[in-house]
Structure 1
């Protein structure tokens, strides 16, 4: 995910030709706002970005069109798969719309970026070592199958599931009524018409209503990416400390001097 800088678009196509390249909606809105002002159009744009299926997408597109034909045409020119949830590839199990992670990392290494290259790497080395150690210690205290934030999100969806009416169709397929809408859920295919389960790997409240009907543990329907076991694997490898420079192997390369 990037901020739609032209140089990055070309670089990603060259270095990661098979990767899905998404654009941060906050940066997209900044370009949109230069021409199309107002809180209503801002809300319309974000509603389109948050659309998780074709029906929601079409409804939100019709809404922005009713408020501004020019804004509608601007949005229509943007490639949907780069910023609208309904068109994301479900494989990564990631439905975020902002590039906050890269922005946070950018500020995280702000001090290091101003240093000469060896000092910069040493600074990042210490920061990342501290992070890995703290994450290892933090995750050792966790109990249960899921990471705490995911468990909290799941508990909220379980509460919402109480408002759903479930009609079993057999062989793991259900019809779920939630307020004024109807959704088809297939537990065998890990799918729901709202598409939230496929996109994020966390079952939506429609799916959890079916799980309650079938007496299935909600935690068992969450993708393994979000388990404590997977989290610990991500932070399982230490960055080894560096020896004193006196121990460094002499490479006999050419001398590299600072710029004039």
Structure 2
């Protein structure tokens, strides 16, 4: 989306406001950034408003998938893995991808089996980073599972440990406790790992990689098929090098003037060999002993009927 946005709306200021609006997890923060964008550039604001925010703004994402990704990093990772395979014939490409997947499944499974912990390593790092800011907040407990969290700048958030929810919406979107919820969990002297969503558990990771790919025999031992062979899509191969620009169609007078040694402006060519006009060095007759003259050249020009 930003790649299309910056084509007509350039500038670092517009870029920063757009990314802040996309990264905001609360509707109030999203609306605030959109108002800033409207003040900076009304046309850019209208362009962004025409796009459905549920497809690009984190504040409008559903909280069910437990994922707050904004970029297409997963697609880029897949393209990088199959980079060598995607240029091969179809059967060879599928074989390379099959071997890559067979190797990756058992590698990822072995890594997690040797890992000591209930939460996946990358998620554990995020939790450790969120723990560092818990001392910046003041808590008010309602006696059950809800807290009122106050910041030093006057901001307030509400945390519900029973429903794994925080008004900042970060915990709801990602399933990973935010800094406000971690402060409340510390207050109750409970384990943070117990509040991490099911999808980030070690047991869930192992279930995803429990189905292994079995090796197969060589192509000569494959069963014979009566179906038509799979062939690649026919496409015209591109020429090597930079493509040439389409030349402008010449008019008749332009072709004739160039044929007889005249430039498009109507002036005559000057020979760099003999210094005379009406011909160039390639057609110069000094080497052959027959020097062309200006009158000879003019007599060869086409005569107009007018």
Give the TM interval when normalised to the shorter protein: 0.7 to 0.9
What is the CA distance between 1:249 and its match in structure 2?
2.2
- Give the structure 1 partner of residue 90 of structure 2: 117
CA distance in structure 2 between the partners assigned to 1:144 and 1:183 by the alignment: 30
Q: Secondary structure at the match of 2:85?
A: helix
What corresponds to 1:47 in structure 2?
Answer: 20
- State yes or no: 1:200 paired with 2:174: yes
User: Equivalent residue for 2:209?
Assistant: 235
Q: Tell me which of the two structures has the higher relative contact order, counting C-alpha pairs closer than 8 angstroms and 6 or more residues apart.
A: 1
Compare 232-241 and 87-96 and name the one that shifted more. 232-241
Q: Is the 8 A contact 1:178 1:206 kept in 2?
A: no
Query: Which position in structure 1 is the counterpart of 2:35?
Result: 62
Which residue is 2:11 aligned to? 38
What pairs with 1:120-139 in structure 2 (closer than 5 Å)? 120-139=93-112
Q: Compare 43-52 and 238-247 and name the one that shifted more.
A: 238-247
Using structure 1 for the length normalisation, give the TM-score: 0.85
- Does the 8 Å contact 2:67/2:173 carry over to 1? yes
Counterpart CA distance in 1 for 2:13 and 2:40 is 8
Over the residues paired in the alignment, what is the CA RMSD in angstroms? 1.6
Tell me, in whole angstroms, the C-alpha distance in 2 between the residues paired with 1:239 and 1:149. 26
Q: Secondary structure at the match of 1:31?
A: helix
Structure 1 gaps of 5+ residues are 1-27
**CA separation in 2, counterparts of 1:257 and 1:99?**
30
1:253 has 2:234 as partner: no
Report how far residue 153 of structure 1 moved. 0.5
Task: Tell me the CA shift for residue 46 of structure 1.
Answer: 0.3
The answer (yes or no) to whether the contact 2:90–2:230 under 8 Å persists in 1 is: no
Deviation at 1:254, TM superposition (A): 4.2
Contact map agreement 1:132 1:238 (CA 8 A) in 2:
yes
SS of the residue aligned with 1:124? Answer: helix
Listed as ranges, the gaps of 5+ residues in structure 2 are 235-306
1:156 aligns with 2:156: no
Distance 2:231 2:57 in 1: 48
Of the candidates 178, 186, 193, which is equivalent to residue 160 of structure 2? 186
Cα distance in 1 for residues equivalent to 2:106 and 2:96? 16
Query: Which residue does the alignment assign to 2:57?
Result: 84
* 1:215 alignment counterpart: 189
In the aligned structure 1, how far is the partner of 2:129 from the partner of 2:63?
A: 22
User: Which has a greater percent of helix?
Assistant: 1
Q: CA deviation at 1:252?
A: 3.4
* Bigger shift: residues 247-256 or 58-67: 247-256
1:13 alignment partner in structure 2: none
* TM superposition shift of 1:141: 1.6
Are 2:14 and 2:37, in contact at CA under 8 Å, matched by a contact in 1? yes
Secondary structure at the counterpart of residue 65 of structure 1: helix
Cα distance in 2 for partners of 1:245, 1:57 equals 56
TM-score (normalised: structure 2): 0.73
Cα distance in 2, alignment partners of residues 254 and 81 from structure 1: 44
CA distance in 2, matches of 1:255, 1:39: 53
Quick one: distance in 1 between partners of 2:233 and 2:198?
Answer: 49
